[in-house]
Amino acid sequence: MLQDLSQYILDIAENSLKAEASRVEIEVFEDTRGDLITLKVTDNGYGMDDEQVSAIENPFFTTRTERRVGLGIPFLKQASDTCGGRFEIRSVKGRGTVVEASFKRDCIDCPPLGDIPATVMTLMVGWPERDFLFRFNFDDELFETGTEELVQVLQDRSLLVTPEVALWISRYIEQGIYHLRTGGNEDFEENNQP
């Protein structure tokens, strides 16, 4: 099992990248009223047929050749099952894949969110030629950003890989999530000195 939800996000998004997705959407839904956390990763990669989808939850299924056991998806499913959540993979061969996993927040084994800003930044900076879209939903509020938006601000895609920009991206996402959580009433800079 992985330590926190951001590690699962990285794992699932890496599957999308391996599937040659040019666009990966990462969504987190934090629903305090329904007491649920949901992760959803949507890609436009090469997808899977029905047979592959039903086999994917079985740890002995993988298209990797160097070892027979693929564990990313089974781990996520197990973690979500343990926490009374729902787990679903929908895929269309040649079109793309959606992986969705939810967790009851009050479950004692519910993994913490972890460092989601750093994870999203790692993906954006690590694969600058792909487009990532990140959405964080906190009840009815939404924070959204993505590679396309950031490139528009930077006016140069190659700047994505510079350390200053990487730091700025994770800080920007951290701030976005913080404002959602606090209803925009708290001063981020004052409470989060680097």
Ligand X SMILES: Nc1ncnc2c1ncn2[C@@H]1O[C@H](COP(=O)(O)OP(=O)(O)OP(=O)(O)O)[C@@H](O)[C@H]1O
In the region spanning residues 26 to 55, those forming contacts with ligand X, defined by CB under 6 A, are: 43, 45-48
Out of Mg ion, ligand X, none, what residue 16 binds, judged by CB under 5 to 8 A for its kind, is ligand X
- Residue closer to ligand X by CB (options 69, 142) is 69
- Residue closer to Mg ion by CB (options 72, 146) is 72
In the region spanning residues 93 to 112, those forming contacts with ligand X, defined by CB under 6 A, are: 97
Q: What is the DSSP string of 20-44?
A: T-SEEEEEEEEETTTTEEEEEEEE-
Whole-angstrom distance, CA of residue 174 vs CA of residue 188: 9
User: Token pair of 189, please?
Assistant: 């800079």
Q: Which of 135, 164, 130, 151 is nearest to 20 (CA)?
A: 130
- Residue closer to Mg ion by CB (options 75, 178) is 75
For residue 19, state whether it binds ligand X (rule: CB under 6 A).
yes
Compute φ and ψ for 120, nearest 5 degrees: -65, -40
Residues of the shown chain interacting with ligand X in the complex, contacts defined by CB under 6 A: 11, 15-16, 19, 43, 45-48, 56, 62-64, 70-74, 97
